[in-house]
Structure 1
Amino acid sequence: MKPLLTQDDLEDQLSLPTPGVLDTLRALDGDVMVLGAGGKMGPTLARMLRRGFDAVGKKDRTVYAVSRFSNPGAAAELEVHGVRTLACDLLDRADVQALPEVANVIFMAGQKFGTHDSPELTWVMNTIVPAIVADRYVGSRIVVFSTACVYPLMPVAGPGSREEDALGPPGDYANSCVGRERIFTHYAKETGTRALMFRLSYAIDLRYGVLHDVAQRVAQGQPVDVTMGHANIIWQGDANARAIQCLERTACPPPALNVTGLERVSIRAVAEQFGSLLGKPAVITGSEAPTAWLFDASRSYEWFGPPTVTLEEMIHATAQWVRQGGASLGKPTHFETRDGNF
């Protein structure tokens, strides 16, 4: 991975189409719509789609990015990169019905943070919006962003959750995400719509994510709680690429796919490595619990091969970003949360 010195460098890297993405877009029919494109991942995913279509000679294909776009600058930035933006309230059925017909949908909308204070709104966003969208896009291919937190906490000594395992998470957020999956699966079975449940665990962007959170705490001399002692992570660009490639893997009934790295990342070891890289001693608090949210992502490796960015590359890039005072989105992952209350 080349050095990432500016946000433009970072976003260019996060939106770089992989060979697998180019193969998928070369074979894919129709336009693509990213619903809920205003979040942390949506902008670079939409840009990857646009860059990919251009690279394979399909400049006439439209990439739509749909969000409330309460920040007009976010929409303008996407338009500069050739993505067509559409402002839409996904809770408004008439708004959603007015969206263009498309053959391919990547659904990224949802709510996580704020669940503790307004669990009812989280359930509305994570179940009613899917029902509105599933009803609107009958017959489209739909890749549904979910979370690997739909599984229960697993023993650290075990293999991690597999796609066939029973779902049974703690807390309103993760249970509402199970609801999201159930809604899309119901509509798929009723209508024959092809879909896929994209169970993502901890995408890494140098401005946020598990590594960013740990590095920031080490740099600021704050304690790192290792009670949730392990995690799985993946570079956001690789997560974007896998989501696009999953358009070819949609089916009815919808399959599920765990998307993350195979490595089991020790929070303690990462904190100590950041201490060495940043020249600050890591302050550790707590002790590792015997369980954590851990996942077996081997199916995604079988389908798409290994990610393009390694764990060591992510760690060193994050350290450099924090050392140079790189921007932060100010959105902690709360990866240490064990009760599901975000």
Structure 2
Amino acid sequence: MSQGFTSEAELEARLVAPSAGLVEDFAKGAGDLVILGAGGKMGPTLAVLARNALNAAGREHDTVYAVSRFGEASVRERLAQAGVEVIPFDLVENDSLDALPDAPNVVFMVGAKFGAATSPSWAWEVNAALPDRIARRYRNSAIAALSTGNVYPFVPASSGGASEDVAPAPIGEYAQSCLGRERVFEFAAQERGTRVSIVRLNYAVDLRYGVLADIGSAVHAGEPVSVDTANVNVVWQGYANEVVLRSLTHASTDVFTINLTGPETLSVEAVAQRFGGLLGRAVTIVGEPQPTALLNDSSRCMALFGYPSVSAQTLIEWQAQWIEANLPMTAKPTKWAVRDGKF
């Protein structure tokens, strides 16, 4: 069994270690980078990863700016210690974005998911209206916009997942507003010549949160695992952050769109049973498997950026060790099994 981590510090160190491919991309001439929404689940490690990759590429003078409300002082301190310039800023509340730094590269990570069913106007403001202001502020930059696989329809597991050529058919206000985000950035590309990459992610795993944390924690606690949604995709967060950053080199006025997930289509029941074996727990399966699920085909991503350095099976083993060691969790469930689009 693959040896995992004994602390958050060890996990963080692995997540922010750049690959040779990322360093090579940055060495070609990266420039300053603004990360909008850098205080979320993926943002802090993405910011430090970018800083480390720039250093390794000999571009120490390029600045990484992390922009967020930053509710947790510890996150700000950790980023500053890593050489990231922290900018506390509320992107929604501030009418003007002029105070934000200029940069040739921008990563847009801001999003509203949970609560979208009860406050849909908030989801549309954050996911669709705000991107228009960002696209205007950074019209001359390359923008990598993080999106979601939720914009696709549910597909059979046997299909291998929805490819980028499948027409979006979002279910629910969250997914619809995310498609709105994509369309706004597409408009900027078409009308103002902004170079854009759109990255449709589902689902990142960093052991403190994610689909595997949800399933593994349920098994460990003796709670039933529903298999109504019988299959799922996951991807190591270290790889996910790398692809987001490397997608900037593909940003185009034609809008570069890519699915970001792991190459495996996982059986939820098989994952639960594996956790049962690793954690020494009996597994209770409930529900009736439905014929479709939210699944993405990441073949294009694999062809461009290579396969993730960590497989799904290794992630399951690491996750079990993390749970058994009672290491910190974010207590933010992914709600990956939701089928009606209401988050």
TM-score (norm 1): 0.98
Q: What is the distance in 2 between the residues matched to 1:143 and 1:55?
A: 22
3-state SS of the aligned residue for 1:129? helix
TM-fit CA distance, 1:54: 1.1
Report what 1:280 is aligned to: 281
Q: What is the distance in 2 between the residues matched to 1:240 and 1:233?
A: 13
Report what 1:169 is aligned to: 170
Letter in 2 for 1:336: A
Report what 2:329 is aligned to: 328
**1:272-292 CA distances to partner (integer Å, 9 max, x unpaired)?**
000000000111110210010
More divergent stretch after superposition (212-221 vs 250-259): 250-259
User: What 5-or-longer segments of structure 2 have no aligned partner?
Assistant: none
**1:97-136 CA distances to partner (integer Å, 9 max, x unpaired)?**
2111100001100100011211110111001110110000
In the TM superposition, 1:1-342 aligns within 5 A as 3-92=4-93, 94-342=95-343
TM-fit CA distance, 1:56: 1.7
**1:25-74 CA distances to partner (integer Å, 9 max, x unpaired)?**
11133101110001000000000001111112211110010001122221
**1:213-267 CA distances to partner (integer Å, 9 max, x unpaired)?**
0000000000111101101110000001111111111111202100101110111
TM-fit CA distance, 1:95: 4.2
Contact 2:157–2:265, Cα closer than 8 Å, also in 1: no
Q: What is the distance in 1 between the residues matched to 2:313 and 2:159?
A: 23
Q: What is the distance in 1 between the residues matched to 2:21 and 2:314?
A: 21
TM-fit CA distance, 1:159: 2.9
More divergent stretch after superposition (322-331 vs 52-61): 52-61
Q: What is the distance in 2 between the residues matched to 1:16 and 1:288?
A: 39
Q: What is the distance in 2 between the residues matched to 1:300 and 1:308?
A: 13
Q: What is the distance in 2 between the residues matched to 1:239 and 1:218?
A: 26
More divergent stretch after superposition (124-133 vs 65-74): 65-74
Q: What is the distance in 1 between the residues matched to 2:90 and 2:79?
A: 18
Query: Please, what is the CA RMSD of the aligned residues?
Result: 1.1
**1:176-209 CA distances to partner (integer Å, 9 max, x unpaired)?**
0000000010011111110011001100010100
Contact 2:23–2:54, Cα closer than 8 Å, also in 1: yes
Letter in 1 for 2:73: P
Change (3 A) 1:217 1:306: same
**1:56-93 CA distances to partner (integer Å, 9 max, x unpaired)?**
22111100100011222211111011110101111245
Q: What is the distance in 2 between the residues matched to 1:189 and 1:92?
A: 28
Letter in 2 for 1:106: V
Letter in 2 for 1:309: V
Q: What is the distance in 2 between the residues matched to 1:257 and 1:2?
A: 31
Q: Give the number of equivalent residue pairs.
A: 342
Q: What is the distance in 2 between the residues matched to 1:188 and 1:93?
A: 24
Letter in 1 for 2:159: G
Contact 1:24–1:244, Cα closer than 8 Å, also in 2: no
Q: What is the distance in 2 between the residues matched to 1:290 and 1:163?
A: 21
Q: What is the distance in 1 between the residues matched to 2:260 and 2:156?
A: 19
3-state SS of the aligned residue for 1:302? helix
Q: What is the distance in 2 between the residues matched to 1:84 and 1:327?
A: 26
Q: What is the distance in 1 between the residues matched to 2:110 and 2:83?
A: 22
Q: What is the distance in 2 between the residues matched to 1:240 and 1:149?
A: 19
Q: What is the distance in 1 between the residues matched to 2:202 and 2:61?
A: 33
Q: What is the distance in 1 between the residues matched to 2:215 and 2:36?
A: 30
TM-fit CA distance, 1:161: 0.7
Q: What is the distance in 2 between the residues matched to 1:253 and 1:276?
A: 48
3-state SS of the aligned residue for 1:157? helix
TM-score (norm 2): 0.98
Percent identity among equivalent residues? 42
User: What 5-or-longer segments of structure 1 have no aligned partner?
Assistant: none
Q: What is the distance in 2 between the residues matched to 1:2 and 1:73?
A: 28
Contact 1:88–1:96, Cα closer than 8 Å, also in 2: no
Contact 1:93–1:132, Cα closer than 8 Å, also in 2: no
3-state SS of the aligned residue for 1:198? strand
Q: What is the distance in 2 between the residues matched to 1:92 and 1:285?
A: 44
More divergent stretch after superposition (293-302 vs 1-10): 1-10
3-state SS of the aligned residue for 2:116? coil
Q: What is the distance in 2 between the residues matched to 1:308 and 1:229?
A: 25
Letter in 2 for 1:104: N
